[in-house]
Amino acid sequence: MNRPESSLQTRPQGQTTQTVPLVEIFSAIQGEGLNVGTRQIFIRFGGCDLRCTFCDSAHTWHAQSTCRIEQTPGQRDFEVFPNPIEISKLVAWVERQNQPKLHDSISLTGGEPLLHADFLAEFLPVMRDRISLPIYLETGGHRPDELAQILPYLDLVGMDLKLPSVSGEAHWEAHQTFLEYCDRSEVEVFCKAIVSSATDLGDLERAANLLAEVNPAIPLFLQPVTPLNAKGQPVPPTPDQILYWQSQLKQQLHSVRVIPQTHKMINQL
């Protein structure tokens, strides 16, 4: 992929002012989407502007005063540091995680990473100069303008399709614009949709229509909600529901896969 020159190259060395609130950096196995089963360096950013009813990461909704950084990849030997974090420090931490032949890519996750698009627009060119791993963005897919700021630096985008009957969120127009931006670029993109026993077929049909209008070849992953054993949490769909939904969606889309959140099954949180 042709990359634009780093926006930092015209600035005197060290004159970057951006900082960001982190939640954590760690090494783990990706449990969702096209990268399922691969080893990634996860950079989890703090702050989210959505409030999905099935969210299992509510601790990321607000920026915290500290973050935790894994010292040895996969060992969970976290050390705590004060937020916010400068670009140079973040790059150094990712470089330490990047041991030879261990990781397949870097995941930008959250929270919602695109809340920090200005920071990412400075950070990603620097990181790409220092680390050759592909960059994967995990996002709610509701901030297309912020995506446009960093799209040239990404290799893969995993967009959550928010089904109102499951998440309590509705962002159809933003989702469509977001996917159009991805489809017109060189970045690879796929969509994920959490489904539960309460999923409205109308939501799924609207999602299929949206994807088919942009590009029916964009893969869609249906993810049965993971029960959290808490009162009021969504209930997973039945096998009959999943089989029927997949059969209906495949009438419009080339690839519809059903994969649970495997990282939770193997305790890779």
What pLDDT is stored for residue 57 in this prediction? Answer: 77
Coil/strand/helix, residue 78 = strand
Q: Are strands 105-109 and 39-45 parallel, antiparallel or unpaired?
A: parallel
Q: 13 or 260, which is more confident? A: 260
Residue 141 neighbours by CB under 8 Å, 6+ apart:
159, 160, 161, 162, 171, 174, 175, 178, 179, 191
Asked, for residue 61, whether it belongs to a domain, the answer is yes
Coil/strand/helix, residue 167 = helix
Contact 168, 51 (CB under 8 A): yes
Asked, for residue 11, whether it belongs to a domain, the answer is no
What pLDDT is stored for residue 55 in this prediction? Answer: 75
What pLDDT is stored for residue 49 in this prediction? Answer: 86
Asked, for residue 12, whether it belongs to a domain, the answer is no
Domain membership of residue 124 as a residue range: 19-265
Asked, for residue 5, whether it belongs to a domain, the answer is no
What pLDDT is stored for residue 11 in this prediction? Answer: 37
Q: Are strands 220-224 and 256-258 parallel, antiparallel or unpaired?
A: parallel
Burial (CB count <10 Å: 0-12, 13-18, 19+), residue 202: exposed
- Reply yes or no on whether the pLDDT at 224 is more than 90: yes
What pLDDT is stored for residue 127 in this prediction? Answer: 96
Give me the percent of the chain exceeding a pLDDT of 70.
88
Mean pLDDT of 22-31: 95
Asked, for residue 200, whether it belongs to a domain, the answer is yes
User: Residues 183-209: pLDDT tens digits?
Assistant: 999 899 999 999 999 999 999 999 999
- Reply yes or no on whether the pLDDT at 6 is more than 60: no
- Percentages (nearest 5) of helix, strand, coil residues in the chain: 35, 20, 45
What pLDDT is stored for residue 7 in this prediction? Answer: 33
Q: Are strands 135-139 and 188-195 parallel, antiparallel or unpaired?
A: unpaired
> What is d(CA 250, CA 211) in angstroms, rounded to the nearest whole number?
12
- Reply yes or no on whether the pLDDT at 268 is more than 70: no
- Reply yes or no on whether the pLDDT at 227 is more than 80: no
Asked, for residue 248, whether it belongs to a domain, the answer is yes
Mean pLDDT of 86-111: 96
What confidence tier does 229 reach under pLDDT thresholds 50, 70, 90? low
Q: Which residues of 113-123 are buried (b: 16+ CB within 10 A; e: fewer)?
A: bbbbeebbbbb
> What is d(CA 218, CA 148) in angstroms, rounded to the nearest whole number?
19
User: Residues 232-256: pLDDT tens digits?
Assistant: 677 899 999 999 999 999 999 999 9
What pLDDT is stored for residue 265 in this prediction? Answer: 66
Asked, for residue 2, whether it belongs to a domain, the answer is no
User: Residues 114-164: pLDDT tens digits?
Assistant: 999 999 999 999 999 999 999 999 999 999 999 999 999 999 999 999 999
Asked, for residue 89, whether it belongs to a domain, the answer is yes
> Would you give the DSSP letter of residue 161?
-
Contact 199, 222 (CB under 8 A): no
Q: Are strands 85-86 and 19-20 parallel, antiparallel or unpaired?
A: antiparallel
> What is d(CA 92, CA 194) in angstroms, rounded to the nearest whole number?
34
What pLDDT is stored for residue 230 in this prediction? Answer: 56
Whole-number average pLDDT of the chain: 89
What is the domain count for the chain?
1
What pLDDT is stored for residue 62 in this prediction? Answer: 84
Residue 201: give its domain's CATH number.
3.20.20.70
What pLDDT is stored for residue 58 in this prediction? Answer: 76
User: Residues 160-190: pLDDT tens digits?
Assistant: 999 999 888 899 999 999 999 999 998 999 9
What confidence tier does 228 reach under pLDDT thresholds 50, 70, 90? low
The structure tokens 């993109």 sit at: 189
